[in-house]
Amino acid sequence: MLEFKIIQELKPNEELLEIIKNYNYTIKNGKIKHLMVTNLQFIEPTEYLITHPITLTILEYKVNEISNKAFYIKEYQQKYNLKEVKQILININFKI
């Protein structure tokens, strides 16, 4: 049986929480897991599920040095950086 050890809990992004505070949302904290007896690590992203006024699922991955786009929006199927996500959420707020 596969055994995992949680190495690190990923906390929600404070700047993003400030923007979505006016929306209905839930958060699932991310984790970095180590598969025991191997050297493999798995990253579960932090998930922000906005349910009202629009349904969006934003995944936040731990950023490495190569990629500066830590956010992925499932509905748009694209990666974004924090500045772009902020702009999308602000524009959605004005449309409604």
Check pLDDT > 80 for residue 63. Answer: no
Q: Where are the domains of the chain?
A: 4-95
pLDDT tier, 17 (very low <50, low <70, confident <90, very high otherwise): very high
Contact status, residue 93 vs residue 86, Cβ threshold 8 Å: no
Tens digits of residue pLDDT in 20-48: 988 899 999 999 999 999 999 998 999 99
**Number of other residues whose CB lies within 10 A of the CB of residue 16:** 20
pLDDT tier, 69 (very low <50, low <70, confident <90, very high otherwise): confident
| Positive or negative: CA dihedral 9, 13, 18, 19 | negative
Structure tokens at 33: 């897991």
What is this structure's pTM? 0.85
DSSP state of 76: T
pLDDT tier, 67 (very low <50, low <70, confident <90, very high otherwise): low
Q: Which residues pair with 52 in a beta bridge?
A: 24
